[in-house]
Structure 1
Amino acid sequence: MTGWWAALKKEVSGDEEGGDRVPRRAWSPEVFDDIEWRRFEALCEALFAQAGVRTESQSHGADGGIDIWLYSAHSPKPMIVQCKHWRRKPVGVQQMREFFGVLKANDLQYGTFATSSTFTVDALDFAKANGINAQDRSGLLRLIGTRTAEQQATLLSVAYEGEYWRPTCANCGVKMVERQPKEGGTPFWGCVNYGRTRCRFRLFTL
């Protein structure tokens, strides 16, 4: 295995060549690069739960643009969270507008958009004007930093639970496998159920 795919696998897993994956012992921006999208959502849910709200989420399947529901005893309406696990690509205003549409469709005024990446200036301006709490990786790290040492350790264990580096199929909720197109081209992560249910969900790194 050579070229950019080998480099990507090393980046995603935290591997050194010939070595084993070792979870990081302290919080840093690299934690977000180590983990896959489902672990990122689980991490966000655990982080908000530590603030004393009740949370609801689902592991896979159609979610209507809502990854986490937050319920507070101090508010008659829930808040919603959308999580976007991107490593390099910034979240743009288009994604923020789509999330705003989800808010309106559910008759909600406030929501949180969390990403492991960053936001464009236009996306941040739109969020500020429309009651959306935009949390990028720096903001999430600052929020994690307000937790106790024990809580931070708990969040780290959530992030690195199981095969934290291997992507989860958004349709089936099972871990994906590396696939190489028969006709050549860019390798990708594919669902293991392709031969059974013909699930065609595939994932590339953003």
Structure 2
Amino acid sequence: MAGWLSTLKKELTGETGEAAHAPQQAWSPQVFEDIEWRRFEALCETLFGQAGVRTESQSHGADGGVDIWLYSAHSPKPMIVQCKHWRRKPVGVQQLREFFGVLKANDLQYGTFATSSTFTDDALVFAKANGINAQDRSGLLRLIGTRTAEQQQALLAVAYEGEYWKPTCVNCGVKMAERKPKEGGTPFWGCVNYGKTRCRFKLYMASDR
């Protein structure tokens, strides 16, 4: 067993006392199911960085529709990447139109839209017509498959780093905690900074994304 995986097994207990889903030892669609959105973005950044480009990103807060900036010595302009970590809901043409607007706002002709889910047919048509490289779950797995065995293991380590199953607050950049409404109802993930900053960001556990 890889050293990083042995270390990871010591970190598999969350605040609820329940063990997280055991990490995969090889690449498969299950990896995307296991991890939360921030790990997915970190994975994409590392994957594109392995191609020899310099990357920049931010962990939380408003990003202007750009999750990752890619800089190549062979191009005067950067390329931008937007990531959508959705598990079941396909990315539609509306999301691609919004990303196209981000491209135009940054005076760029090309960009990549990466998702752990799939794209609708009309979204793929729009992407092809407007210089958008649409990478869905299958496309990302194919791209990962072109990497060396060592690089693929490095990508797994990034995906399963830390409490990979716990969502990260998009406002504060900290791991969220499981909350159960006192009056009953659907459990949700709440920001741990609620008492300090009154951050009200929450994610319901039963989600189509």
Q: 2:114 aligns to what SS in structure 1?
A: strand
**Helix, strand or coil at the partner of 2:80:** strand
The 2-side partners of 1:124 and 1:60 are apart by: 28
**What TM-score, normalized by structure 1, do the two folds share?**
0.89
Matched, 1:185 2:185: yes
Q: Residue 27 of structure 1: CA displacement?
A: 0.2
The alpha-carbon distance between structure 1 residues 203 and 19, as it changes in their structure 2 partners (threshold 3 A), is: closer
1:140-199 deviation per Cα after TM superposition (whole angstroms, max 9, x unaligned): 000000000000000000000000000000100000011123443322111001111110
Aligned to 1:172: 172
Q: Return the offset for 1:19.
A: 5.8
Unaligned runs of 5+ residues in structure 1 are: 1-12
Task: Work out whether 1:89 is the aligned partner of 2:101.
Answer: no
> Within 5 A, what are the aligned runs for 1:105-184?
105-184=105-184
* Contiguous gaps of at least 5 residues in structure 2: 1-11, 13-17
Q: CA, structure 1 residues 115+203, in 2 after alignment: closer, same or farther (shift >3 Å)?
A: same
State the shift of 1:20 in Å: 5.7
Partner AA of 2:32 in structure 1: F
User: For the Cα contact (< 8 Å) 2:169–2:191, is it kept in 1?
Assistant: yes
Amino acid in the other structure paired with 1:54:
R
**Mean Cα deviation higher: 127-136 or 194-203:** 194-203
Give distance in 1, aligned partners of 2:172 and 2:160. Answer: 21
For residues 192 and 30 of structure 2, the distance between their equivalents in structure 1, rounded to whole angstroms, comes to 28
In the alignment, the residues of structure 1 paired with residue 102 and residue 20 of structure 2 have an alpha-carbon distance, to the nearest angstrom, of: 41
How many residue pairs match? The answer is: 190
Counterparts of 1:184 and 1:125 in 2: how far apart (Å)?
Answer: 44
Task: Name the TM-score, length of structure 2 as normaliser.
Answer: 0.88
Distance of aligned partners of 1:104 and 1:20 in 2 relative to their CA distance in 1, 3 Å threshold: closer
- What is residue 38 of structure 1 aligned with on the other side? 38
Q: What is the percent sequence identity of the aligned residues?
A: 85
Q: Give the distance between the partners of 1:120 and 1:85, measured in 2 at CA.
A: 15
- Matched to 1:72, the amino acid is S
Which whole-Å CA distance do the structure 1 matches of 2:185 and 2:89 have between them? 21
Find the aligned partners of 1:19 and 1:61 in 2 and give their Cα distance.
Answer: 29
* Structure 2 residue matching 1:104: 3-state secondary structure: helix
Deviation at 1:104, TM superposition (A): 0.6
C-alpha distance 37-73 of structure 1, shift in aligned 2 (>3 A): same
Partners of 2:119 and 2:136 within 8 A in 1: yes
The aligned runs of 1:7-46 (5 Å cut-off) are 21-46=21-46
Which amino acid in the other structure matches residue 45 of structure 2?
A: E
